[in-house]
Amino acid sequence: MPRAPLGKIRSVDTAHYVVFHKPYGVLSKFTDAEDRPTLAAYVKVPDVYPAGRLDMDSEGLLFLTSDGDLAARLTSPSYKVAKTYLVQVERIPDAAALERLRCGVLVKGRRTRPAKVRLLSLEPVVHPRSVPIRFRKSVPTAWLHIEISEGMNRQIRRMTAQVGHPTLRVIRIAIGSITLGDLAPGEWRIPNLGEVQGLLRPG
């Protein structure tokens, strides 16, 4: 059951909001018992926490906030907030594979929601990864632009694997109205009021 709609956000000063470019190999949290790399080395804003997460081996946009209601909205599939990714996969998917992704595939016994998927004709301009992807000269790669409105564990990787195209790299570039822009890995910025208010629009 969806929560009641949130009230209009009047100022980004009433709660902290941070747009962060999470690098590869960094956990989406501030502490770790195993002493692995965390957000603490990058984000020095107090009292903000990730609204959702990215896997350690995924990169890109992480939205952090002290606004618990907004965080719940962004992570609840009921609100259908779009999450957009650039995804590098092994081999070039054909029309049938792309259509399967668009219609939904079975992931751990559950069918994913329909997704917006397109094959990019040109390789996107992205920051180099600290650990290069595995490269096989005999296996071509392709980039997909994928938009989903849910966040199952490792969903993008599981989806592409189901259609025979293992994921090599995942970069989240947008959550609703919030975009990664030109932030380099490890950089963060404060979003403007319009960006944050845009998160309240129906999905």
Residue that the structure tokens 């990864």 belong to: 129
DSSP state of 40: G
H helices then E strands: how many in the chain?
Answer: 4, 11
Active-site residue (options: 55, 57, 67, 69): 55
CA distance 113 to 110: 9
Residue that the structure tokens 């390789």 belong to: 123
Note if 55 is an active site residue: yes
Q: Which residues are catalytic?
A: 55
